[in-house]
A and B are shown apart, each in its own frame.
Chain A
Amino acid sequence: MTAYIIRRILWQIPVLLIVGLMTFAIAKITPGGPFDTDPNRRQLSPAVEKILKQKFGMDLPFWHQFTRYMFFDFVENPKTGETEFQWGALGGNFGPTYSSRGSRTVQQELFGDRSGKPSRFYYSARLGLQALLLAVVLGIPMGVLAALHQNTIIDYVLLFGSTFFASLSSLIVGFLLVIIFAVILSWFTVIPDWSDPVQPWILPTIALGSIPLGFITRLTRSSVLEVKRQDYIRTAQAKGLGDQVVIWRHMLKNALLPVVTILGPMAAGLLTGTLYIEIIFQVPGMGSLLVEAIGKRDYSMITAGALIFVFFLGVANLLVDIAYGVIDPRISYK
């Protein structure tokens, strides 16, 4: 098991490297740079641009730029003139953002405090966790309920509802929620007040969580139906065990295994979902910042965003794999 985990962690390194290299390469080979985004805006004077390019190391050869960004480099400190060691993305330093012309670093923008307000990372992480929680806490009981009442009206309603949400996208659900609850019913303001700890979170959490909710409900239902037919359930019932014990101890424990496996891909969906959900509901999180960065062609931010996303995905998948091994003693990792 330990060997397996180590191997999985090691496998993340080439993945991160290749993702970094690809985003980095795309940024370099395409025409236009971060300093000439908008032709209508005042252009930088060639002298200033040269200084900026020097500051970002854009005059270095490609491989040097890449290794400086990803790993580390020895950089000359402009004030003291001494050469200093500087970590790259590997050490958590994603470099200065292009759009701030170097005054702020990517990690400050993403994880830093913003004059008393929580960091952008906090908003995204909280939104994602709330959505996941909503999906798991509601989805599993609903799936069990549907399966135990198979072919009744409860089952049909739950199955139709979960199929509906599972086939949509959180983009569509988000739009529907905004139209219904913010515009038509006016229960929520279109422009959220983030000092309120509950109210502005409700709609984005539902929008983001509804798709995994649909998936989990459907999967739990079919998995409970499968388990229900097994011999050991009949044995448990024949032993005279109560319904509750059979359902919770014998049925659910086995039925939940497939549900655990989709939590990994689900985390991926939640992560990318924050990109547009945060725009729709004006959440000041990482997703909306990344979309902004994309508009400004702020490649240091975009590359950092891709790396961070891949990192979280890897962690989520690893956790799911480990959880799977812990829950199911039949699985052994080599």
Chain B
Amino acid sequence: MATSAQTIGGANALDRSNQKSRSLWADAMRRLTRNRAAMVGIIVVILYILVALFAPLLAPKNPVEQTARNSLRPPVWVTDNPQRVPNPENILGTDNNGRDILSRLIFGTRVSLIVGVVPQLIILALGVSVGLVSGFAGGWLDNLLMRITEIVASFPDLLFIITLTVAFRETLFGKAFGGLLLIFTAVAIISWTGMARLVRGQVLSLKEKEYIEAARALGIPTWQILFRHILPNTLAPIIVSVSFSIPGLIIFEAILTFLGVGMRPSVDPTNPLPTSLGQMMQEGFSNLSSGPWMLLFPVVLISTLVISFTFLGDGLRDALDPRDNG
């Protein structure tokens, strides 16, 4: 075995002979740090997280503060229109209400990141439990759960989320956190099916493994087998799947808010989540001809964020699933 590995390639063979002393995670980490696109992705994502965390310190102005006679100023480098002179105080210009775009962008990244992460908790809770139960129990319970999953998965997701958000928008629940709570729930309710199928598939293949049989022969209780022996082994594909679904959720918020059923506009200067990139896109789109920069900047920001997460997801997949490396 060792000799055949060495004949394949020098460096690779050396790695393999040492591999026993390293854990799966250390190994994956090493593969991940070697992936240049994934590293760029991680750096950008960390940058965004820092910006979101320290938004009040970084933003030059209050994101909801409206200044009179300062609306629709272009970014400072756009000086070709004598009717619209940039204001040096607003580097990226102002919107139709005279609010500073740079400050709004800085605060807007907060919502995008939160929307990408918080619903994941609900998705994980629902998807993992359905997948675990379904895969491990088998029989009629598996059949029932999988039929439910199939039905939910065949909903047109966006239309269903929109219907939910419209229906509950005026309730107390729909108004919580500027409508964010409703978005989280609506998005999660429809998005857990992929996770459930993934976990079920993993459990189905894992429970045939010898070590599970050994655990069962030792008389270890079922819940312990599930949580101590099976779940940890499904972690790698779960992580990959989560990192791939983050960009989708960020986009969902933008789409919902663009269609007018997402986040509510806020004028409260103390609100920690005053605006989102989706909201800025919506405002920018309605002022398209008079201030295209209002749309351009949030679009650029959200594309960078989404692509960085995709690079990161690609990198994680390659790192955690070495079979694909060919």
Contact = CB atoms under 8 A, between A and B. Distances in A.
B206 interface: no
Contacts of B29: none
B212 interface: no
A125 to B, nearest CB: 16
Contacts of A9: none
Given A306-B163, A313-B156, A276 B255 contact: yes
A324 B86 CA distance: 58
B299 A271 contact: no
B302 interface: yes
Interface stretch (B11-19, B121-129, B136-144, B166-174): B166-174
B1 interface: no
Interface in B77-99: none
Interface in A257-316: 268, 271-272, 275-276, 279-280, 290-291, 294-295, 297, 302, 305-306, 309-310, 313-314
B325 interface: no
A167 B289 CA distance: 28
A171 B258 contact: yes
Interface stretch (A18-26, A48-56, A101-109): A18-26
Interface string A307-334: 0011001100000000000000000000
Contacts of A314: 154
A27 B162 CA distance: 12
Interface stretch (B47-55, B195-203, B303-311): B303-311
A159 B156 CA distance: 29
Interface of B is mostly: helix
A171 B251 contact: yes
B157 A31 contact: no
B170 A32 contact: yes
Chain B contact-residue range equals 35 or more
Interface in A19-51: 19, 22-23, 26-27, 29-32
A172 B166 CA distance: 23
28 contacts: A15-B150, A15-B154, A18-B151, A19-B155, A23-B163, A27-B167, A163-B314, A167-B309, A167-B310, A168-B307, A171-B254, A172-B254, A176-B303, A183-B288, A272-B157, A272-B159, A276-B258, A276-B259, A280-B285, A294-B259, A297-B166, A302-B166, A306-B155, A306-B160, A306-B163, A309-B156, A310-B154, A310-B156
Interface of B: 150-151, 154-160, 162-164, 166-168, 170-171, 247, 251, 254-255, 258-261, 281, 285, 288-289, 292, 295-296, 299, 302-303, 306-307, 309-310, 314
